[in-house]
C-alpha cells in the first residue's frame, strides 16, 4: 500500500472514531441550588470579591457552571466534565451551608493558598477564559479577603 492510501484509510477510521466518541457524553448537570446554603448568602462578600468569584471560580466550584460549546464535543467534553466534578467535590460555593465551621475555615484558607500560589484558577482554564486571569492586585484582594474570613471563622467571630 502506498502512503496516500494509508493516509486516506487512517483519516476515515479516525473520523469514524471521532463520530462514535460523540455518543459517549458526560454529565453536564447543574444541581438545584438552595440559595440559603450558598457561600454568598452566608458570608458578607464585597461586590469586588463576588465579581472575582463569578469570573474565575463559579464554573468549577459552584452549581452554576456555564457549559461552553466545547463541553459538548468529545474528548474535550470528558475533560471539562471531569474538572467540574472534581472542582465541585473539592469546594462548592453552592453547598457552603452544608460544610462544618472547621471545613469552611479550611476552604477559605485553601482559597488564600491557591490564589497566592497561582494554582487557581487552573492555568489550563485561563486560555479559553481570559476573564479568569486575575491581575496581581485582584489576587491580593481575593487572598486578603479569604484570609480575613478564615480568621473570623477560626476565631468564631460573627459579623
Task: Check pLDDT > 60 for residue 130.
Answer: yes
* Phi/psi of residue 123, nearest 5 degrees: -55, -35
Give CA angle at 14 (8, 17), nearest 5°. Answer: 145
pTM for the model stands at: 0.85
pLDDT tens across 58-79, in order? 999 999 999 999 999 999 999 9
Res 156: pLDDT: 57
End-to-end distance of the chain based on CA atoms, in angstroms? 76
Q: How many CA atoms lie within 13 A of 128 on its CB side?
A: 12
pLDDT band at 154 (very low <50, low <70, confident <90, very high): confident
pLDDT tens across 83-104, in order? 999 999 999 999 999 999 999 9
Res 148: pLDDT: 94
What does the domain layout of the chain look like in residue ranges? 3-155
| Inter-residue contact 52 to 134 (CB < 8 Å) | yes
Res 1: pLDDT: 76
Alpha helix segments (H runs only) across 1-135: 3-21, 39-42, 47-56, 58-61, 76-90, 101-116
Cell of 73: 464535543
Amino acid at each position: 500500500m502506498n502512503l496516500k492510501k494509508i493516509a486516506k484509510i487512517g483519516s476515515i477510521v479516525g473520523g469514524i472514531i471521532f463520530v462514535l466518541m460523540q455518543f459517549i457524553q458526560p454529565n453536564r448537570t447543574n444541581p438545584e441550588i438552595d440559595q440559603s446554603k450558598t457561600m454568598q448568602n452566608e458570608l458578607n462578600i464585597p461586590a469586588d470579591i463576588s465579581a472575582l468569584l463569578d469570573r474565575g471560580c463559579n464554573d468549577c466550584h459552584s452549581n452554576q457552571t456555564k457549559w461552553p460549546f466545547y463541553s459538548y464535543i468529545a474528548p474535550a467534553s470528558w475533560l471539562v466534565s471531569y474538572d467540574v466534578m472534581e472542582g465541585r467535590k473539592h469546594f462548592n460555593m453552592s453547598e457552603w451551608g452544608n460544610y462544618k465551621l472547621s471545613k469552611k475555615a479550611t476552604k477559605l484558607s485553601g482559597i488564600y493558598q491557591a490564589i497566592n500560589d497561582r494554582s487557581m484558577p487552573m492555568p489550563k482554564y485561563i486560555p479559553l477564559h481570559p476573564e479568569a486571569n486575575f491581575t496581581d492586585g485582584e489576587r491580593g484582594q481575593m487572598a486578603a479577603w479569604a484570609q480575613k474570613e478564615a480568621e473570623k471563622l477560626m476565631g468564631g467571630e460573627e459579623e
